[in-house]
Amino acid sequence: MAHEALPQPARDYYAGGAADEITLRENVAAFQRTVLMPRVLVDVSRPEPGTTVLGERLTLPLLIAPTAFHRMAHPDGEMATARAAAAASIAMVASTIASCTLEEIAAQGPSPRWFQLYVHTDRSLTERLVRRAEAAGYTALALTVDAPRFGRRYADMRNHFTLPDGITVANLAEEGREKMDIVPGGSGLAQFIAKQFDASLNWSDFDWLRSITSLPILVKGVVRADDARKAVDHGAAGVIVSNHGGRQLDTAPATLDALPAIAEAIGHQAEVLMDGGVRRGTDILKALALGAKAVLVGRPIIWGLAAGGEAGVSRVLQLYREEFELSLILAGCASVADITRDLIRQRTS
């Protein structure tokens, strides 16, 4: 339904990945080759699907991932997504490059809300975004570190992707930084990002960010155990195992494949979350069994938004909730605390 509703440039932007889209496909395939080994004769009459992340109680171990430009999918944009999240008591991570301001998103309801942050070449702009997130009641920052430049997304290049009239990078428009040009032979968004985001970002910049805010910071875009370890050593409250939805470095590992080593490297010193390819309730169960505290979901939320606005997002969240609770029951788990590594086996053929 979403693909029928969306114009091709928007559809391709949301759906596409980098280069040959190998990582994009592998994110989903990794779940398909992972087998669940259910327990039996367990009392699962009263399943409890909730969990706690960063001290906040979540009714489901699922957050809405930071995705850009929801107004290309529906006129209400991120505000519709936020209302659906609030109604379902689901946490939402709002994007720096959203098409509604972080203040507009925060005004839509009381559910837990994090702010996804890109560090800009202008550090004062970065600091102002952090202050705005603090003032609007966001409870954590998800620092995205895997995009010093945007990956080579051929569909966007063919479409000369730029924002439709009337849609802006709303948070940056508030700062006078929203201009995006149409680029012959390329993507206007990629050129815009190359000018705005700081490719020199390193661990000392992470230390600077920690010094200017008391909000917990998660490092998003980690696929290596040694980087996850460094994040914890520098004071990160958590890491988000992510390859940017297969949109950055093609042939990077599927996030489910990268997850176990990272969870083992961190142990209980920080929270481990993951995104990429989570399409079913069983996928949530598999990610938790391999060490994640929760998952983040991006594209399915966009499809729901494009298909039916707020109601469409609500329906997607309802499906995840129903499927995850059923997966718990059928796997012999009364709660997320019962999800352990022995539930997992890799397919041998």
Specify whether the CB–CB gap between 102 and 331 falls below 8 A.
no
**Residue 168, token pair as written in the block:** 């802006």
Q: Are strands 62-64 and 294-297 parallel, antiparallel or unpaired?
A: parallel
- How do strand 91-94 and strand 271-275 relate by DSSP bridges? unpaired
Q: Are residues 2 and 73 in contact, defined by beta-carbon separation less than 8 angstroms?
A: yes
Which residues sit in the known binding site for FMN? 66-68, 95, 116, 144, 220, 242, 275-279, 298-299
d(CA 310, CA 80): 5
Q: 184 is written with which tokens? A: 């012959």
Q: Is residue 244 flagged as an active site residue?
A: yes
Catalytic residue among 3, 120, 244, 268: 244
Lookup result for tokens 């815009």: 192
Residue numbering of the annotated binding site:
13, 66-68, 95, 116, 118, 144, 153, 220, 242, 244, 247, 275-279, 298-299
125, burial (CB in 10 Å: exposed 0-12, middle 13-18, buried 19+): middle
Q: Which helix (H) or strand (E) holds 240?
A: strand 238-241
Q: Which among 197, 220, 205 is positioned nearest to 294, based on CA atoms?
A: 220
Q: Which residues are documented as binding site for glyoxylate?
A: 13, 118, 153, 244, 247
Residues with a known catalytic role: 244
